[in-house]
Amino acid sequence: RHRVFPVRQGPEARAIAADVKQNLEKIRHHGKSADGNVKGMLEHSRAGSGQKPLVDLNVMADKFLKLSYHGLRAKDKSFNAELVTHFDPDLPKVNVVQQDMGRVLLNLFNNAFYAVNQKSKTAGADYKPEISVTTAIENRQVIIKVKDNGSGIPDAIKEKIMQPFFTTKPTGEGTGLGRSLSYDIVVKGHGGNITVDTKEGEFTAFMVKLPVA
């Protein structure tokens, strides 16, 4: 037998709707507050060092690429991926806060490895996970491109991926702050730019551009 539940109407329905609306406002408020706190800590960290020495981004990118790869391999021995690097030998050094830029690179690499690892669980035997890292100099800007052949990002959410607390990972596997903080570090902290090119089901490529002094 099917049970029929009465539809609430009138004052009771309005009270429930008001409660839902109030709860959503609280969630939005606390979300913004948490975002502000995290970014405040980041600014405090940056202010604490404030040093932007000249850094070889080829060396830094290679270091964090291997760190990210071996970190994932430590958790999952069955995971393998081809690492392809195209480092411009004439890449000029740039002034960066090393700790902050290290966070950006590690976030980009971790996300790339996550994407190909997830795809490898459902793709056929012919699928070969690959992460490529390219550096170049163009128009007085140093470019770092991180590309993976994972599942890509759907067009419907591509514009949201830099927003705080937005994540495509399952609950408990991502905070949704990595890309947002990376954006702030690159754009607000270093006067650069970060963009994404992606095709659902095929690839994702993040491009970081930093000005040369």
What average pLDDT values come out for the chain (213 residues) when binned by 10 residues? 56 72 68 54 50 92 94 88 96 94 92 91 88 95 96 68 50 50 85 90 93 87
Distance between the two ends of the chain, CA-based, in angstroms? 75
pLDDT for the residue 42: 54
pLDDT at residue number 175: 41
DSSP class of residue 101 equals H
Give residue 50's pLDDT. 62
Gap between the Cα atoms of 121 and 123, Å rounded: 6
Backbone conformation region of residue 91, classed left if phi is above 0, alpha if psi is from -120 to 50, else beta: beta
pLDDT at 182: 81
The answer to whether 204 and 196 are in contact (CB under 8 A) is: yes
* Residue of 71, 83, 81 lying closest to 110 (CA atoms): 71
